[in-house]
Amino acid sequence: MHALFWAPYANEAVVLLYHQIDPVPGAPYSITPRLFKEHLDALLQNGYNVISTGELADFLEGKILLPEKAVVITFDDGYRSFYRYAYPELKARKIPATNFIITSRVDKKIGGLEYLTWDEMREMQANGMSFYVHTDHSHHRAPAAAGDHPKSVLAHRIWLPGENRLETEEEYRQRVADDLAAARNVMESQLHRPATQIAWPYGEHSEPLIEIAQSLGYRFCYTTHGATVTAKTDPFIIPRLDVGNAGVMSADLIWRIQYTAFKERLISRPVLRFLYNLYRWTKRVVLGLRNAAGTEKPRVLLFSISGNQSCQTLPGFR
Ligand SMILES: [Zn+2]
C-alpha cells in the first residue's frame, strides 16, 4: 500500500491553489513568504514537474501528454503580494504560475489589501507567469431569498431587497454576461493575450454560469474541490487543491498531492471505489454515533477532500 501511495502518477496533474502571501502569519487564506519558498523547494526536491495552466489546457484538449508528477500552481484574487513575494521565488526557480484577477480591483488598495497593477502583470507575463479572469466586480456573496444563506453572485440569481423579489433568469444572465465580458475585454486589452481561463469565485458554479462563460469564449474554468486533473476532467470544472494556508507545512503539501493522486487511482477502479466509499460511509456513521452519544467533540478537520471553502471573503472586503 505504501508503494502504491507514493507511486509517481502520470498523465494527470494536481492543481494547487494559493491566495495571499503575508510575512505576518495567521491571516486566513495566507501563508508566509518563507513557507511558500519551502513549498517550492519541496516540490522540486521530490521530483514534481511544475507545468503552466497553458500546458494543462493543451493536455485537456488532447494536444500533449503530461510528465510524471505534474503540478500546476495557481493564485486567486490578484494580490500584490504575488509580485512581492511569490514572483521572485518562482522566477529564480523557472517555475510558472497563474494568478486569477479581479479586474475591477487592479491597482487598488481595498480594506488594507493591495492588488497587482497592469505593469506588474506585464512584467511577470514576460517572465513566465500568466494572468486570467476571476471576475470583474462579482467577488462577493448575496442571498438568493430574504434571509437565505449568501451564495456567489456569479453562480446564482440574487434577491433584490429594494424590490422584494428574486432577479429574473434574464436579469441574472445579463448581469453575469456583462461581468465576464468586461473582465475578459480589459484583460485582453491590457495583457494582449487571450483570456480564456477563469477561476470561479469561491469555487461556486452553476449550469447557467458555465453556459454563459462558454458562450463568451471561456474554455478552461477552475473550481476548488480537491481532485486530480485527468484527460477526462470536465474543462469547465477543473479541480484545485487549496494549500495556501499556514497549516500546510511542506511535508503536508507533498502528502496531500500524493493522497489526491492515490484517491484518483482508487476511485478509477470500481471495486476499490466501492471499498473507498464504504470506508467513508462507515467513518461518517461512526463519527455520527459518537457525536450523538456525546463521546466525541466536533472536530475541525485538517482539510476537506471535497470542501468548497476556499476564497472566502477576507476581512475588509464587505
Ligand atoms: Zn477569490
77: which strand partners? Answer: 101
**Cα(100) to centroid of ligand 1, in Å?**
8
pLDDT digits (tens, 9 = 90+) for 33-87: 999 999 999 999 999 999 999 999 999 999 999 999 999 999 999 999 999 999 9
Distance 139 CA to ligand 1 centre (A): 6
Q: Give the distance (Å) from ligand 1 centre to CA of residue 33.
A: 20
* Window from 17-31, 107-121, 275-289 with minimum mean pLDDT: 275-289
Q: How far is the CA of 293 from the centre of ligand 1 (A)?
A: 39
Distance in Å, CA 314 to ligand 1 centroid:
9
Q: Where are the domains of the chain?
A: 2-293
pLDDT tens digits, one per residue of 275-299? 778 888 888 888 888 777 765 444 4
CA of 166 to the centre of ligand 1 (A): 24
**27 or 140: which leads in pLDDT:** 140
CA 102 – ligand 1 centroid, Å: 8
Distance 101 CA to ligand 1 centre (A): 8
CA-closest candidate to residue 56, choices 311, 235, 265, 310: 235
Backbone angles phi, psi at 199, to 5 degrees: -110, 125
For residues 94 and 106, what is the distance between their CA atoms, to the nearest angstrom? Answer: 25
For the chain, where are the alpha helices, taking DSSP H only? 2-6, 33-45, 53-60, 81, 87-92, 118-125, 169-191, 207-215, 250-267, 270-293
* Comparison of pLDDT for 228 and 226, the residue scoring more: 228
- Ligand 1 centre distance from Cα of residue 96 (Å): 20
19 CA to middle of ligand 1, Å? 8
Q: 2-293 domain in CATH 3.20.20.370?
A: yes
Residue 264's pLDDT band (cuts 50, 70, 90): confident
Can you give the pLDDT at residue 141?
Answer: 94
98-102 and 130-135 beta bridge pairing: parallel
93 CA to centre of ligand 1 in angstroms: 26
- Per-residue pLDDT, 94: 97
Q: Model pTM greater than 0.95?
A: no
Helix (H) or strand (E) holding 49: strand 49-51
2 by Cβ neighbours in 10 Å (0-12 / 13-18 / 19+) ranks as exposed
In this structure, of 6-10, 68-72, 144-148, 302-306, the range with the lowest mean pLDDT score is: 302-306
Mean pLDDT on 245-264: 94
CA of 201 to the centre of ligand 1 (A): 5
Q: Which residues pair with 135 in a beta bridge?
A: 102
**Coil, helix or strand at residue 70:** strand
Q: Which of 198, 203, 193, 190 is nearest to 218 (CA)?
A: 198
Cα–ligand 1 centroid distance for 97 (angstroms): 16
Local structure of residue 9 (DSSP, 8 states)? P
Grid cell, residue 156, equals 446564482
**Are 21 and 30 spatial neighbours (Cβ–Cβ below 8 Å)?**
yes
Measured in Å, residue 231 CA sits from the centre of ligand 1 at 26
